Amino acid sequence: MADQQHLPDQLPAAAAPQSRTAARSWSARVLSLLPFLLLLLSAGLIASQVRRPAALLTTWVPWIEIATIAVSMTPIVMLGGIDLSVGSAFALTASVFAFCLQTGTGTLPAIAIAVMAGTACGSLNGTLIARGSPPLLVTLASMALFRGLTMSLFGGERILVEQSFQLPGPLQLRPQYYLLLLVLAVLQIIVHHRVLGRWILATGENRTAARIAGIPDRRVDLLCYATCGFVVGLVAVLNVMQHNVAVPDAGLGMELQAIACIIVGGTVITGGRGRISGTLLGAAVVSSLDIALNFLSTRFPVISLESRMIVTGILLIGIAVSTQRTAGTHPE
C-alpha cells in the first residue's frame, strides 16, 4: 500500500481550528451511528415484507458465508494487509472437497484434505507476504493462480457429489451459522483479549517499529493468512455439503464483498485499528440492506438492481468517510 504517510514531527495531528474539529467530531458521531440506523431500517423493511421468517434464514446463508470469511480476514486487514484470493481459494477447496468425495474418499478424510488445501492457500500468501512482498500484489497473483488451478485441475466442470449430508441443525439453523459464531468468538478473544491481538494491531500500525520492539511480525503474518485460509476451507466444505456440487466459478467477487463488510465494520484498511465484532456489524448492514432492497424490488419495480448497486456503493463510501479517514495522517 502506498499510502503509508508520515506524521509531521512533534505536531498534534488534528491540525484544524477548534471549531472545525468540533464540527467534524459531531458529524463523525452521526456518521458512526449510520450503520446502526441502516441496520434498523433494513431490518424493519424485511420484517414488514417477509411472509415466512424461516425462509429468511436460508436466504441469508450466502451472506453468512461471506460474513465468516470477512471475520477471518479482519486480522489480515488489521495487519495492514488484504487478501484478494479468498474467492478463488473458496472455489479451489470446494472443488478439492467435491473431487475427493467423488473419487470415493471418506467424508472425514475429504474434509481434512479440503481444509488443509485451504490452509495451504493461506500459508502460501502468508509466506510470501512475511518475506516482504506487498499483500495486494501477492494475493492478486494467488487469486489468479488458485482460480487457474481450479479450472485446470478439474477441467472447468461442475463436480457433482452423490452423498447427501444430513447436517445437524438444532433450532433449524444451518451449520454455517454455527461456524460463523465459532469463528467470531475465537477471533474476538484472540484479537481483543490475547497478546497476539496486541501484536497484530501494533504490526499494522507500524511494522518497522513492531519488529524492532521485538514482535515476531513474520510469524504473525503467516498465522493470520493461514487462519484465513483455514476458515475459507471450512466454509467451502459446508457449502459443498449443502449444495452437493462444486462450481469452478464459485466465490467470484466474494473477496470484494468481504472487504466491503470489513470496511463498513470500521476496520481501517491501512491497518492498526479495528474490531472483530465491527465486521459482524458491517456484514449485517451490507447483507440486510441488500436483502431488504431485494424484497422491495419485488414489490416496487422502481427499486431495481441498479438502484441497489448505487445504494450499496454510496453506503460503502459514506461509512468509509466516517471510519476510514485517519485524522491528520494525510499530508494536506
Partner 1 sequence: MNALELHQLCKSFAGIPAVSDVSFTLIQGEIHGLVGGNGAGKSTLIRMISGLLPPDCGIIRLPGSPEETWTAHTSASAGILTIHQEGEFFPHLTVAENIALSGTFPLARRGLIDEGALHENAEAVLNHLPHPPTPDVRADALTNATRQLIRLAAALAAKPSLLILDEPTAALSHHETNWLLARIRELAAAGGTVLYVSHRLSEVLELCDRVTVLRDGRVTSTQAASGLTAAELIREMSAVQTAESKTQPAPLQSQFASSAEESSAAVRITWPADSASDRQHVLNLKRGQILAIYGLVGSGRSSLIARMLHLREPNGLQVLIDGKPLQGITPHQRMLEGLSVLPEDRLTQAVFASHDLRANTVISAQGARSPMAAADPVNEYRQTQSVIQEFSVRCTGPQQPMQYLSGGNQQKLLLGRCLLNHPCLLILDEPTRGVDAAARSELHAAIARQTMSGTAVIMVTSDLEEALSCSHAIAVLAHGQLAGIYPADESRRQAVTAAAFGTSDQSVGSPESSTNAALSEPVAAATAGPAAPSPAPEFIRNGTRSHRIRDIRSRLLAFVVVALMLLLSISSSGFSPLSVIDAAAPWCILTLAAMVVIVAGGIDISIGSTLAVAAAVAAHVLRTPLPVSLTIPLAFLAALTTGGCCGLLNGWLHTRFRIHSIVVTLGTLTIYRGIVILLLGRNAVTGLPQQLNLFIQHRETGFRTGVLIAACVCCSVALLLRRTPLGRFLYAVGSSPAAAHQCGLSVSSVRMRSFMLGGMLAGLTGFLQLASGMQMQGTLGSGWELTAITAAIIGGVAIEGGQGTVVGAILGCLLLRLSGTALIHWGISDHHLTLLTGTMLFVAVLTDRLSRQGAAHG
Residues in 16-45 at the binding interface with partner 1, rule: CB under 8 A: 17-18, 21
Nearest partner of 61 among 200, 144, 174, judged by Cα: 174
Residue of 102, 127, 270, 297 interacting with partner 1 (CB under 8 A): 270
CA separation for the pair 249, 240 (Å, rounded): 13
Which residue number, 68 or 267, has a Cβ lying nearer to partner 1? 267
Span from 48-56, 96-104, 226-234, 263-271 in contact with partner 1 (CB under 8 A): 263-271
Interaction residues for partner 1, span 192-211 (CB under 8 A): 193-199, 201-202, 205-206, 208-211
Query: CB 65 → partner 1: shortest distance, Å?
Result: 19
Which residue number, 15 or 182, has a Cβ lying nearer to partner 1? 15
Q: How many CB atoms lie within 10 A of CB 19?
A: 8
* Residues 306-325 as x/- pattern, contact with partner 1 by CB under 8 A: xxxxx-xxx-xx--xx--xx
Burial of 2: CB neighbours in 10 Å, binned 0-12, 13-18, 19+: exposed
∠ Cα 46 51 54 (to 5°) = 85
- At 154, list the grid cell: 478439474
CA separation for the pair 288, 274 (Å, rounded): 22
Helix (H) or strand (E) holding 159: strand 159-160
* Residues 142-161 as x/- pattern, contact with partner 1 by CB under 8 A: xxxxxxxx-xx--xx-----
Nearest partner of 206 among 321, 329, 71, judged by Cα: 329
Residue of 28, 120, 134, 294 interacting with partner 1 (CB under 8 A): 134
* Residues 208-247 as x/- pattern, contact with partner 1 by CB under 8 A: xxxxxxxxx-xx----------------------------
Q: Which neighbouring-strand residues pair with 160? A: 245
Which residue number, 45 or 140, has a Cβ lying nearer to partner 1? 140
Query: CB 248 → partner 1: shortest distance, Å?
Result: 8
